[in-house]
Amino acid sequence: MLTIIKISLFCMVGVLVALQIKGANPGFSTYIGIAIGVVLFVFCVGEIGNVVDKLGDLFQNLGNAGGYLQILLKVMGITYICEFSSGICRDAGFHTVSEQIDVLGKVSVMISGLPILFAVVEQIQAFL
C-alpha cells in the first residue's frame, strides 16, 4: 500500500512539474510525461513478476487447464502493453498511431483467444 502511495505521489509531482514547464517548453513537458509513464511501466513489470511467481504455483496444480490460464495472461499482457503504448502516442499528439495500436491490440486479443473459442465449440459439439 505504501508503495502505491509513493508511486502516485511521484506521478502527481511529475504532472505538476510538466504543467509548469508546458508553457515555456511544450516538447520537454511531453518528455516528462513519457518518463513518468516509463517509470510506472517498470514498476508494473516488477509487480507483475510477483504475480507470475504466484501463478506458476497455480499452473502446476491445474494440469491441462493451465493452457487456458496462459492464454488469459497473454491477453492481459497484450492489453496492458497496447494501452500503455497507445496512451503515450495519444499524449504526444499522434492520435492516428494511437488508434492503430488500439486496433492492433484488439486483433491480437481476438487471435490469442481463438483456442478458447475452439475448445468451447468442441465442448458444445461433444454435448450434442
Give the Cα separation of 108 and 5 in Å (integer): 33
Residue 86 DSSP SS3: helix
pLDDT tens for the chain, residues 1 to 128:
677 788 888 888 888 888 888 888 878 888 888 888 888 888 887 777 777 778 777 777 766 666 777 788 888 889 988 998 898 888 878 889 999 999 999 999 999 989 888 888 888 888 87
**Residues 6+ away with beta carbon under 8 Å from 71:** 112, 113, 115, 116
Q: In this predicted structure, what is the pLDDT of residue 105?
A: 93
Q: What is the per-residue pLDDT for 88?
A: 83
Query: What is the per-residue pLDDT for 1?
Result: 66
pLDDT at site 111: 93
Whether the model pTM is above 0.85: no
Cell of 87: 496512451
Place of cell 504455483: 57
Say how far residue 30 (Cα) sits from the centre of its chain: 20
Question: Which pLDDT does position 61 carry in this prediction?
Answer: 75
Question: What does the pLDDT read at residue 102?
Answer: 93
